[in-house]
A and B are shown apart, each in its own frame.
Chain A
């Protein structure tokens, strides 16, 4: 994440992954689309991890009620 273009790209692909997970063929693929790997734990990495966790807790349950079972899983 170094430019605005990259940031917007990232946001779009994140949101598109959620949408594609809704029409995924099976659980395995859905999980694939809902897994986010953050590489680098500097200020940006930590902030985005926090923001994603917040999103996971407050936004996704409302926007995607169908995701119930897979939510709340962290890999570290």
Chain B
């Protein structure tokens, strides 16, 4: 640790790996060799990476503390700083301060089986502890890694996944969401919780380390419970909640806990004591049960709106799902863009439209997937049993293949 916790180290970008079109890994070396000598960190800790003139961003150190002399970090282009980072090249200098936060209790895990479960961009915060335990392979029993991403292209660390796959002392299961596979994909196809249920790892003497998007965690926890995992044996890292790094700015506190100082690593027993806002099982879709047949309209654009209006007083329970709580009129987008109209002229609040419709329920949620076998619809706020489902998802914008395409935020 630097003598002055506020002072960043100067780091030179030694190597850049393009993991996916928007995810990159940097290998950083200390400009000052004395600092490299003094620097040490432990698995699970994080740092602040700064681009001069742009700001700083927080993510976990992705390389293992057993590999000395450099640190690695992996990030996805999402905001101002990560975009600026993405434009840097080998040889450029950035700032790094840290390490901050607590660590994975890898000593306590000695002699146990380790089960790593990661989804999408959540593998980087776990890569550090994965390599740390692999480098100390004798101290641990079975190591199983379950890693899922949306598509084959979204899998990060492809080189290392291959390496892990080839090692006889590691069991690696990779999976992609249905539809995300390529013709030569050899891994599993399906969501992480389902794949986990299929392989059913034993919970005996096993610690599970879980990290991923909230919806994955939400559906994976019940599977782990079913397999017999205790709350205290399930670990996660709440990386996304951090800001300044040492609990001064107040953005990371959840109840009494400062994620930067007391975290980011928590076991699920600790998480259950936190206020609900961080509890992964927070949302409920809350549609009242009814004897009427239920019709779900997913997406309330032109088609959804017309259908919903025609269903008035037809004796159905109608559930309207949309990621916005308004209907919009895209043909006039150009007017708003050119300041001819205010946005209120082309947006129509759904609740206003359906004010006098009986047994119409509007929920602002996103659709995650459709299970046609059990006729269930999985949304960002929970699962709905459907009778009839109408999907009006609209077209996808297709811009791939064009080199210079940027949105208005410069991404």
Residues of A within 8 A of B285 (CB): 23
In this complex, what residue of A is CB-closest to B358?
Answer: A65
- The reply to whether A19 and B364 form a contact with Cβ atoms under 8 Å apart is yes
**Alpha-carbon separation in the docked complex, A22 to B321 (Å):** 12
CB contact between B325 and one of A19, A25, A29, A66 (< 8 Å): that residue: A19
Q: Is B283 in contact with chain A by the CB < 8 A criterion?
A: yes
Distance from A34 Cβ to chain B, minimum over Cβ atoms (Å): 14
Which residues of B (36-93) have their CB < 8 Å from a CB of A?
none
**Alpha-carbon separation in the docked complex, A66 to B382 (Å):** 18
CB contact between B365 and one of A23, A26, A29, A62 (< 8 Å): that residue: A23
Which residues of B (276-331) have their CB < 8 Å from a CB of A?
276, 281-286, 325
CB contact between B284 and one of A15, A24, A63 (< 8 Å): that residue: A24
Residues of A within 8 A of B276 (CB): 25, 28-29
Interface secondary structure of A, over-half rule: helix
**Alpha-carbon separation in the docked complex, A24 to B365 (Å):** 12
- The reply to whether A63 and B365 form a contact with Cβ atoms under 8 Å apart is no
Q: Is B198 in contact with chain A by the CB < 8 A criterion?
A: no
- The reply to whether A24 and B286 form a contact with Cβ atoms under 8 Å apart is yes
- The reply to whether A29 and B282 form a contact with Cβ atoms under 8 Å apart is yes
Number of A-B contacts (CB under 8 A): 40
CB contact between B281 and one of A23, A25, A66 (< 8 Å): that residue: A25
- The reply to whether B351 and A64 form a contact with Cβ atoms under 8 Å apart is yes
**Alpha-carbon separation in the docked complex, A15 to B362 (Å):** 14
**Alpha-carbon separation in the docked complex, A22 to B285 (Å):** 7
Residues of B within 8 A of A29 (CB): 276, 282
In this complex, what residue of A is CB-closest to B281?
Answer: A25
- The reply to whether B284 and A25 form a contact with Cβ atoms under 8 Å apart is yes
Distance from B57 Cβ to chain A, minimum over Cβ atoms (Å): 22
Residues of A within 8 A of B261 (CB): none
Which residues of B (8-31) have their CB < 8 Å from a CB of A?
none
Residues of B within 8 A of A66 (CB): 286, 361
Residues of B within 8 A of A20 (CB): 364
Residues of A within 8 A of B325 (CB): 15, 19
- The reply to whether B283 and A63 form a contact with Cβ atoms under 8 Å apart is no
- The reply to whether A63 and B364 form a contact with Cβ atoms under 8 Å apart is no
**Alpha-carbon separation in the docked complex, A64 to B381 (Å):** 18
- The reply to whether B355 and A62 form a contact with Cβ atoms under 8 Å apart is yes
- The reply to whether B283 and A24 form a contact with Cβ atoms under 8 Å apart is yes
Residues of A within 8 A of B382 (CB): 23
Which residues of B (328-367) have their CB < 8 Å from a CB of A?
349, 351-352, 355-356, 361-365
Residues of A within 8 A of B281 (CB): 25
- The reply to whether B282 and A63 form a contact with Cβ atoms under 8 Å apart is no
- The reply to whether B352 and A25 form a contact with Cβ atoms under 8 Å apart is no
Q: Given A15-B325, A19-B325, A62-B355 in contact, is the A25-B282 Cβ separation under 8 Å?
A: yes
**Alpha-carbon separation in the docked complex, A51 to B399 (Å):** 44
In this complex, what residue of B is CB-closest to A28?
Answer: B276
Interface residues as binary, A9-22 with B (CB distance below 8 Å gives 1, 0 otherwise): 00000010001101
- The reply to whether B351 and A63 form a contact with Cβ atoms under 8 Å apart is yes
23 A-B pairs, CB-CB below 8 angstroms?
A15-B325, A19-B325, A19-B364, A20-B364, A22-B286, A22-B362, A22-B364, A23-B284, A23-B365, A23-B382, A24-B282, A24-B283, A25-B281, A25-B282, A25-B284, A26-B284, A29-B276, A62-B351, A62-B355, A63-B349, A63-B351, A63-B352, A66-B361
Please give 16 more A-B residue pairs, beta carbons under 8 A apart, in addition to A19-B364, A25-B281, A62-B351.
A19-B325, A22-B364, A23-B284, A23-B285, A23-B363, A24-B282, A24-B286, A25-B276, A25-B283, A62-B355, A62-B356, A63-B351, A63-B352, A63-B355, A64-B351, A66-B361
